[in-house]
Amino acid sequence: MASARDNAVARVVRDEPDNSAHQGEASDASRAKLEDINARRQAEAPATDAPAADARRGFMARWSAFSRKQKIFSGIGVLAAVAGVWFGTNYILIGRFLVTTDDAYVRANNTVLGAKVTGYLSKIAVRDNSEVKAGDLLFQIDDGDYVIAVNNAKAKIGTQEATIERIGRQAVAQQSAVEQMKAQLDSSQAAMKRADNDFVRQQQLTDRGFASKAVYDQSLATRDQSAAAVQSAQAQLESAQAQVDVIKSQKAEAEGQLAELKTTLAKAERDLAFTAVRAPVDGVISNRLVNEGDYIQVGQRLANIVPLNDVYIDANFKETQLGRIRPGQPVNVAVDALSGNEITGYVESLAPASGSVFTLLPPDNATGNFTKVVQRLPVRIRVPAAIAREHLLRAGMSVIVSVNTKQPPETKVAHAPN
């Protein structure tokens, strides 16, 4: 340190040529003053500076004696030691609690759009890869034939309603006829009663000889005619009443036909509504498979809607890694497409079986040679809704997930699809 101060003083008091005598005197005075300050500093310096300076000079001498290769290897050794300490500490505190896999992918419940009616595709209302809301018009199928079917069904309904109204009026008229037949029956019964009384009187007079045989026969004929008139009136009344029942049956039949026509109208209107293919959920339309002018068949696939607001991650962990994984545990998700930026999610559920169980031909190891293969089971990981709404995650992306099994599982509210 003293040597450094001496050099500083030497730099400060270095001679600078000047032709002025006044400036020379000032320079001599400054030099004397600085020498005095330097002497006081050296006197005030602690005695321990000399050993420390000697130690530093010894270290620098030994370091200078090293070759360039030795210096490089020494630096590498120091860095390796520091890195080993850091990684060891990180593993003890954090790493040994993490369960990690790179067999993980972003998923979404894709909706497949299909046609329920046939016809030519007259309009495509959205562009590929555009966001849509539930209820938005996506495709329009030519609806000319379906409009005609609706109008035809409405016309038939109008005709049938008029028929029912006519039958109802016939029922009223027939009921009046029944009342008239009842009146005629009452009149015939009264006439028959009078004719019976006249016959009884004429019979008594004839038996006593006060009436002629002709008058008696006339009275008998009148009585028989009255009885026949009563029977005729009774039959007409029964016929009129039966006709009322027939008209009621005709009305019920006509009302049944009206219900069928209304069902036909409802189907025609439903088919007409199906000519407009609308979005069933919010999402992004993609994978369009048709163009304007194509003839669309019933059940034909038109496009897909991917609900990016409700994406999730399926991570396939080895069965040997599942022992410490529980629903609710926090998960760090590193997305390749986001330059390794991590997203924090949580374990939503664990699959009840491995993927091989649900294959068309599940493995059967009951016969033949057996080789044990570690199976993988899907673990559903839910990402925060705010992150999903940013549409940073796309279905099919590969990610790296790390489940932190050190922290206890947190109770999560069941996620509801948007």
Diameter over CA atoms, the chain: 202
Assess if residue 348 is contained within a domain.
yes
Give this prediction's pTM: 0.62
Residue-wise pLDDT for 386-412, tens only, equals 888 888 889 999 999 999 888 665 555
For residue 26, what pLDDT is reported?
A: 47
For residue 15, what pLDDT is reported?
A: 43
Assess if residue 417 is contained within a domain.
no
Assess if residue 218 is contained within a domain.
yes
Query: Are 296 and 362 part of one and the same domain?
Result: no
Assess if residue 39 is contained within a domain.
yes
**Which structure tokens are listed for 84?**
């080993």
**Which structure tokens are listed for 199?**
């016959």
Residue-wise pLDDT for 283-342, tens only, equals 999 999 999 999 999 999 999 999 999 999 999 999 888 888 889 999 999 988 887 678
Query: Are 26 and 130 part of one and the same domain?
Result: no
Query: Are 360 and 242 part of one and the same domain?
Result: no
Distance CA(86)–CA(88), nearest Å, equals: 5
For residue 33, what pLDDT is reported?
A: 62
Residue 30, pLDDT above cutoff 80: no
Tell me how many degrees the CA angle 315-317-318 measures, rounded to the nearest 5: 160
Assess if residue 418 is contained within a domain.
no
- 3 state SS of 12: helix
Residue corresponding to tokens 């030691």: 81
Query: Are 379 and 296 part of one and the same domain?
Result: no
Residue with more model confidence, 204 or 50: 204
Distance CA(123)–CA(7), nearest Å, equals: 89
What percent of the chain shows pLDDT beyond 90?
A: 35
Query: Are 163 and 225 part of one and the same domain?
Result: yes
For residue 44, what pLDDT is reported?
A: 54
Query: Are 334 and 252 part of one and the same domain?
Result: no
* CATH number of the domain within which 300 lies: 2.40.50.100
Residue-wise pLDDT for 270-284, tens only, equals 999 999 999 999 999
DSSP string covering 317-345 = EEGGGGGG--TT-EEEEEEGGGTT-EEEE
Assess if residue 254 is contained within a domain.
yes
* CATH number of the domain within which 208 lies: 1.10.287.620
Task: Please compute the mean of the pLDDT values over residues 337-360 and round it to a whole number.
Answer: 84
Task: Please compute the mean of the pLDDT values over residues 93-113 and round it to a whole number.
Answer: 83
Query: Are 338 and 364 part of one and the same domain?
Result: yes
Burial label for 227, CB within 10 Å (0-12, 13-18, 19+), is middle
Mean pLDDT over all residues of the chain? 78
Residue 350, pLDDT above cutoff 60: yes
Residue-wise pLDDT for 122-177, tens only, equals 999 999 999 999 999 999 999 999 999 999 999 999 999 999 888 888 888 877 77
Query: Are 86 and 163 part of one and the same domain?
Result: no
Check the CA dihedral 278-284-289-291 and report its sign. positive
Query: Are 152 and 177 part of one and the same domain?
Result: yes
Could you list the residue range(s) of the whole structural domain that residue 366 is in? 99-109+307-404
Residue 18, pLDDT above cutoff 50: no
Residue-wise pLDDT for 44-79, tens only, equals 545 445 566 666 666 566 666 666 666 676 678 778
For residue 142, what pLDDT is reported?
A: 95
Assess if residue 332 is contained within a domain.
yes
Q: Which of 305, 323, 351 delimits the end of a domain?
A: 305
Check the CA dihedral 74-79-82-83 and report its sign. negative
**Chain centroid offset of residue 307 CA:** 7
Length, in residues, of the chain: 418
- The structural domain count of the chain equals 4
Q: Determine which of 11-25, 122-136, 175-189, 401-415 has the lowest per-residue pLDDT on average.
A: 11-25
Distance CA(49)–CA(59), nearest Å, equals: 15
Query: Are 61 and 132 part of one and the same domain?
Result: no
Assess if residue 156 is contained within a domain.
yes
Query: Are 367 and 378 part of one and the same domain?
Result: yes
Task: Indicate the pLDDT class of residue 4, thresholds 50, 70 and 90.
Answer: very low
Residue with more model confidence, 346 or 373: 346
* CATH number of the domain within which 366 lies: 2.40.30.170
Residue 40, pLDDT above cutoff 70: no
Query: Are 151 and 256 part of one and the same domain?
Result: yes
For residue 1, what pLDDT is reported?
A: 43
**Which structure tokens are listed for 381?**
């990981």
Residue 27, pLDDT above cutoff 60: no
Residue 248, pLDDT above cutoff 70: yes
